[in-house]
């Protein structure tokens, strides 16, 4: 009888471990989507002169609500000043069209609205959650290396225990006015983010969880 109780207890313990989803420390994945530039040649036109961007992304999951996301992407900034509504000084009264490649390396802090995951519904974890993000990155474009500040939001969905998909939007405010090939055409004084070029990425991504966090079953 004692052996029977031992077998039953072992089965219940194993079932409990299976029911409790493992949390994973890392994610690795790929991303791709449309990009657009905003600067002297496009002051307020969202999704104008769209190009494609893509790259690799990874996350370090601090806990179910917080993460650090790292990305390495390749894209471009594209535009034509004469097709916009901007007026430029006489020295720039000429054809000014550009399509400059860029490389972006960055890290963003993510804060999810709810705990992200499956199997731990008693803790309020959900398969689908929106998040906001803020970070710091570097942009190399048009022979210029500059820092950028990415700000945005997204939504992610865990469609399998270790597979994730999502859509991520960010505006990346660079600290340079050289991405489009012209610096300060109006000859106005530049500030920290004033008269700087920026670009936006709308990325669809898929990622896979790695490095499970092994925790005691009685941990909260």
Residue 126 scores a pLDDT above 70? yes
Question: Once rounded to an integer, what is the mean pLDDT over residues 50-65?
Answer: 96
Tell me which of 76 and 195 has the higher pLDDT.
76
Percent of the chain predicted with pLDDT > 70: 73
Question: Once rounded to an integer, what is the mean pLDDT over residues 166-177?
Answer: 95
Write phi, then psi, for 186 (nearest 5 degrees): -90, -5
167/155 Cα distance (integer angstroms): 6
Where does residue 101 fall: left (phi above 0), alpha (psi -120 to 50 degrees), or beta otherwise? Answer: beta
pLDDT at residue 97 in the model: 83
| DSSP 8-state symbol, 100 | E
143/211 Cα distance (integer angstroms): 38
Counting DSSP H helices and E strands in the chain, the numbers are: 1, 8
Look up tokens 């990305």; give the residue.
Answer: 71
pLDDT range class, residue 62, cuts 50, 70, 90: very high
Here the tokens at position 202 are 């709308």
Residue 143 scores a pLDDT above 70? yes
pLDDT at residue 121 in the model: 55
| DSSP 8-state symbol, 43 | S
pLDDT at residue 93 in the model: 52
104/126 Cα distance (integer angstroms): 31
Closest CA to 24 of 166, 217, 215, 157: 215
Question: Once rounded to an integer, what is the mean pLDDT over residues 154-173?
Answer: 96
In the predicted model, what is the mean pLDDT of the chain?
Answer: 83
Residue 144 scores a pLDDT above 50? yes
pLDDT range class, residue 194, cuts 50, 70, 90: low
Tell me which of 187 and 60 has the higher pLDDT.
60
**What is the 3-state secondary structure of 44-72?**
CCCCCCCEEEEEEEEEEEEECCEEEEEEE
The model's pLDDT over 10-44, given as tens digits with 9 standing for 90+, comes to 444 444 444 456 789 999 999 999 999 998 888 88
pLDDT at residue 87 in the model: 60
Here the tokens at position 176 are 């340079």
**Could you tell me which CATH class the domain 2-213 is placed in?**
mainly beta
CA distances from residue 215 to 23, 130, 163, 192 in whole angstroms, order as listed: 9, 26, 21, 45
């Amino acid at each position: 009888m004692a052996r029977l109780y031992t077998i039953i207890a072992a089965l219940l313990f194993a079932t409990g471990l299976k029911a409790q989803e493992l949390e994973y420390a890392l994610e690795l994945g790929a991303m791709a989507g449309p990009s657009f530039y905003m600067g002297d040649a496009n002051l307020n036109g969202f999704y104008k002169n769209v190009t494609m961007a893509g790259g690799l992304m990874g996350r370090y999951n601090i806990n179910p609500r917080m993460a650090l996301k790292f990305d390495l992407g390749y894209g471009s900034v594209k535009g034509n000043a004469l097709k916009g509504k901007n007026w430029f000084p006489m020295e720039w009264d000429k054809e000014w069209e550009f399509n400059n490649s860029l490389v972006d390396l960055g890290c963003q802090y993510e804060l999810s609205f709810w705990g992200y995951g499956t199997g731990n519904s008693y803790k309020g974890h959900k398969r689908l959650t929106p998040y906001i993000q803020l970070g710091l990155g570097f942009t190399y474009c048009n022979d210029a290396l500059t820092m950028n500040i990415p700000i945005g939001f997204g939504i992610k969905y865990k469609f399998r225990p270790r597979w994730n998909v999502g859509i991520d939007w960010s505006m990346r405010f660079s600290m340079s006015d050289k991405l489009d090939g012209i610096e300060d055409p109006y000859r106005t004084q530049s500030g920290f983010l004033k008269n700087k070029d920026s670009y936006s990425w709308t990325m669809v991504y898929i990622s896979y969880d790695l490095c499970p966090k092994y925790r005691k079953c009685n941990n909260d």
